[in-house]
Amino acid sequence: MKTILFLSIVLFSGALAGTLHGVANLAIVEPYLDTAIGIENQNLFASGEEKDTPQFWVEYDAYRDWQKGGQILAGTILGTSMGGLFGIVYVLSRNVLPKGSDLKKSFTLAAVMWLTIYLIPFLKYPANPPTVGDPETVVLRSVLFLSFIAISGFGAVGFYQAYKRFQSKIKIVAFIGYGMFIAIVFTIMPPNPDEVTAPMDLVNGFRVMSVVAVSVFWVSIAMIFGGLWHKLRPDVEYECI
């Protein structure tokens, strides 16, 4: 394996897919964030913590522009980070991913990772817009969220090991096993402790768009990573005999 080329492919595809994720957020998630933060502002005015003055809105608009721009940078960093994980899993599992092109392998792995470390944890602990989270519970929520992702991810790796050892006829048992395992974990893990007080149409719309935007990341990384691997073949070495 050409290590430098491999690392370059992983980091570039992760960074680019993450940037696209940030752009997707800006286009489809931001309107919900703005609405939610607008509710927070109204609460601040009602409680007297802030005053509804032109000065407030000047500062607020500048602050929000800065945050919105930062989202692209955050997307690039998060994408590079997740790209790193994707690259590790890809290179360690490439031989057992479905036969065919690297694009097909890449999409298969992205689909598995999207399901096990994103969608299933999301169903248990869905994304929330501002106004929903209680600052007092953020540590507990972070621990629950990360734990569920880790349990689901490592569970998938464990059942993948079983999948490799099983004969073809009973490989389906590994899928059923993971399904039963994660269903039990899903039931046992405590729920998000925060009560949702924001309007549910806002919360649900935000969650749908959040899923779409994160899915943009997983589709993008599969396409970019698989395409670059196919084109540049970091695994191929030439020998003269």
Partner 1 sequence: MSSPTQIIKSKSQVHIFAIITLAIIFAVGLFVVGYDQGHIFSVVLGESAYADLYIHEITHDMRHAAGFPCH
Site residues for partner 1, window 78-97 (CB under 8 A)? Answer: 78, 80-82, 84-85, 87-88, 91-92, 94-95
Q: Find the shortest distance in angstroms from Cβ 51 to partner 1.
A: 22
Does residue 237 interact with partner 1 by CB under 8 A?
yes
118 vs 159, beta carbon nearer partner 1: 118
Nearest CA among 213, 220, 197, 221 for reference residue 31: 213
Does residue 77 interact with partner 1 by CB under 8 A?
yes
Are residues 227 and 110 in contact, defined by beta-carbon separation less than 8 angstroms?
A: no
Enter the tokens of residue 155.
């569970």
| 233 three-state secondary structure | coil
Applying CB under 8 A, what is the total number of residues that bind partner 1? Answer: 61
Stretch that binds partner 1, among 160-168, 171-179, 182-190, 206-214 (CB under 8 A): 206-214
**DSSP-assigned letters across all residues of 31-98:** HHHHHHHHHHHHHHHHHTSS---HHHHHHHHHHHHHHHHHHHHHHHHHHHHHHHHHHHHHHHHGGGSP
Nearest CA among 124, 241, 114, 131 for reference residue 182: 124
Q: Which residues bind partner 1 (CB under 8 A)?
A: 1, 3, 6-7, 10-11, 21-22, 25, 29-30, 33, 66-68, 70-71, 73-75, 77-78, 80-82, 84-85, 87-88, 91-92, 94-95, 118, 121-122, 125-130, 133-135, 138, 141-142, 145, 206, 210, 213-214, 233, 235-241
